[in-house]
Amino acid sequence: MAFNVNLKSFKNLLQKVYPTVPVRTPYPVLLNLKFVVGGGQLKVYATDMDTSVVAQIAVDSDEEKKFVVNAKKIYDWTTISSSDDNQNVSVEISDSSVVITRGKSKSAFACVDINDYPEFPQFDKSKNYEFPAEKLKYVSGKVSSFAALKNESRNRGALEGVLFDCFKDKVIFVATDAHKLSIVSFNTSFGFNESISVIVPPKPLNEVVNIIESSGCDNVKVSIFPENISFFSNDFELITRLFEGPYPDYNKVIPTEHNNEFSVERQDLINSLKIAASVADKTNNLVKLCLEGDELCLRSEDTNTNSRSDEFLSVNYPNDDKFVIGFNANLLIEILSAIDTQKVKFEFVNNTTGSVIKPVYSEGGEEKDILFLLMPLRFPE
Mapping DSSP onto H, E and C, the string for the chain reads: CEEEEEHHHHHHHHHHHHHHCCCCCCCHHHHEEEEEEECCEEEEEEECCCEEEEEEEECCCCCCEEEEEEHHHHHHHHHHHCCCCCCEEEEEECCCEEEEEECCEEEEEEEECHHHCCCCCCCCCCCCEEEEHHHHHHHHHHCHHHCCCHHHCCCCHHHHCEEEEECCCCEEEEEECCCEEEEEEECCCCCCCCCEEEEECHHHHHHHHHHHHHHCCCEEEEEECCCEEEEECCCEEEEEECECCCCCCHHHHCCCCCCEEEEEEHHHHHHHHHHHHHHCCCCCCEEEEEEECCEEEEEEEECCCCEEEEEEEECECCCCCCEEEEEEHHHHHHHHHCCCCCEEEEEECCCCCCEEEEEECCCCCCCCEEEEEECCECCCC
19-60: pLDDT as tens digits:
999 999 999 999 999 999 998 999 999 999 999 999 999 998
Which of 124-128, 180-184, 304-308 holds the top average pLDDT? 180-184
String of b and e for 154-171 (b: at least 16 CB within 10 Å)?
A: eeeebbbbbbbbbeeeeb
Angle at 126 between CA 121 and CA 130, to 5 degrees: 100
At 65 the pLDDT is 93
CA 250 to chain centre: 19
Q: Is the pLDDT of residue 365 over 80?
A: no
C-beta of residue 162 within 8 angstroms of C-beta of residue 204: no
Residue 329, number of CB atoms within 10 A of its CB? 25
Fold of 129-251: DNA Polymerase III; Chain A, domain 2 (3.10.150)
| CATH H-level, domain 2-116: superfamily | DNA Polymerase III, subunit A, domain 2 (3.10.150.10)
Fold of 254-374: DNA Polymerase III; Chain A, domain 2 (3.10.150)
Bridge partners for 240 per DSSP:
51, 229
Bridge partners for 113 per DSSP:
none
CA 123 to chain centre: 24
Single-letter code of the amino acid located at 134:
E
Bridge partners for 2 per DSSP:
92
Instruction: Tell me the pLDDT band of 153, cut-offs 50, 70 and 90.
Output: low
CA dihedral 10, 12, 14, 20 (to 10 degrees): -170
204-230: pLDDT as tens digits:
999 999 999 988 889 999 999 999 999
C-beta of residue 333 within 8 angstroms of C-beta of residue 267: no
pTM for the whole structure: 0.90
Contacts of 120 (CB under 8 A, 6+ apart): 45, 47, 52, 54, 239
C-beta of residue 331 within 8 angstroms of C-beta of residue 374: yes
Which has more confidence, 278 or 318?
278
Residues of the chain with CATH 3.10.150.10: 2-116, 129-251, 254-374
Cα separation, 20 vs 48, in Å, equals 6
- Going from the C-alpha of 53 to that of each of 71, 126, 224, 229, the distances in angstroms are 14, 19, 16, 12
Q: Is the pLDDT of residue 337 over 80?
A: yes
Q: Is the pLDDT of residue 381 over 70?
A: no
234-282: pLDDT as tens digits:
999 999 999 998 999 999 999 988 989 999 999 999 999 999 999 999 9
Mean pLDDT score of the chain:
92
Residues in the chain: 381
